[in-house]
Amino acid sequence: MDHEPVPDVARVRLALEAGGFVDLSRVPALRLTEPLRITRPTVIIGGDLTAPEGAAALEVTSSQVQIVGARIRGSATRGSTRDPGQILVHAHGCRESSVVGCTVDHVLYAGVMCLPCCQVLVADNEISDIPLTPGTVDGYGIAFSDAGNTEAARSRNCRAVRNTIRIVDREGIDTHGGLAIRITDNVIVGCARGIAVVSGNQTRRMSPQQCLVARNRIGAAGARTAPLEAVAFRGIEGTRPPGPSGTTWSTAIAGRTRSGRPPGHGPGAPSRVSAAWGSAGAEGRSSSADGP
């Protein structure tokens, strides 16, 4: 099928430069050779976009932007390896933003990555099929992470609510050193680790603080990789503050034991407990803890 010629892409770019209401619902599918840049308050309705190789489809640097009903495809196919440059929607300066009601399928690193963000809501999304590929050791359904080893560089006051996350070969929902991250009422199935509230690897020095994990349902069925913890809540030696803090309760865990092993793979009966304690798609960035 032929894709829309360059002049139509050029008209879309001109519309986005002007900002305001941009209706792409009747525009034929567009294969982009460079990102569409949104630098003014804009509402995009509809659209069928294929991102350029190794780059974003939409690059957002303005406040007051809404993207509703768009279909965005990347260049990955079955068997592809991760291209760090391809972030389908790349929003800079994320503060008081929302990712709501999206469907994300077969991405090679994260469904929604907040790096770092402040007061971001990620709710009512369906995220599935995030495989590990050669050279990649991590993958996330939703992550609230950091951009450096400082207090200012951590994600804070963010929420993951009522999301359904399936078949992620590493972690369903994650925060590395987050502050006041709330993870509630999510369904997480077939992920190696359900929820991780952690400091991260040895390069990170901040412990997660004041985090809440509540009323989530976590199951191991369908996992493609060896099961880890249902919920991991931990820091590492030498982090600041000295250890993680927060609360977890009313989390239903099916098909795992406290060690994270499924029934029949180690001692102990299947457990429905508040947490299984361990010891260890879109991206938003802000230039500081509060965003620009």
Across the strands, what pairs with 38? 60
C-alpha to C-alpha distances, 91 to 37, 60, 117, 254, 274, nearest whole angstrom:
10, 5, 10, 36, 35
pLDDT of 207 reads: 83
Assign 86 to helix, strand or coil.
coil
Q: Mean pLDDT throughout 186-197? A: 95
Q: What is the pLDDT of residues 126-181, one digit of tens each?
A: 999 999 888 778 899 999 998 877 788 899 999 999 999 999 999 999 999 899 99
- The residue whose two tokens read 């991260």 is 200
For residues 105 and 141, give the distance between their C-alpha atoms in angstroms, rounded to a whole number. 10
Instruction: Look at strands 42-45 and 65-68 and give their pairing.
Output: parallel
Residues 6+ apart with CB under 8 A from 216: 183, 184, 185, 186, 187, 188, 194, 195, 251, 252
pLDDT of 278 reads: 20
pLDDT of 136 reads: 79
pLDDT of 220 reads: 87
For residues 133 and 240, give the distance between their C-alpha atoms in angstroms, rounded to a whole number. 32
Please report, rounded to a whole number, the percentage of residues in the chain having pLDDT higher than 70: 77
Q: Mean pLDDT throughout 187-216? A: 88
- Residue 262: pLDDT band with limits 50, 70, 90: very low
Assign 91 to helix, strand or coil.
strand
On the question of pLDDT at 273 being above 50, the answer is no
Structural domain boundaries in the chain: 1-75, 88-285
Q: Mean pLDDT throughout 41-60? A: 94
C-alpha to C-alpha distances, 242 to 156, 250, 260, nearest whole angstrom:
18, 26, 25
pLDDT of 93 reads: 87
Tokens of 227: 């099961």
On the question of pLDDT at 35 being above 80, the answer is yes
Q: What is the pLDDT of residues 56-95, one digit of tens each?
A: 999 999 999 999 999 999 977 677 777 777 889 999 988 9
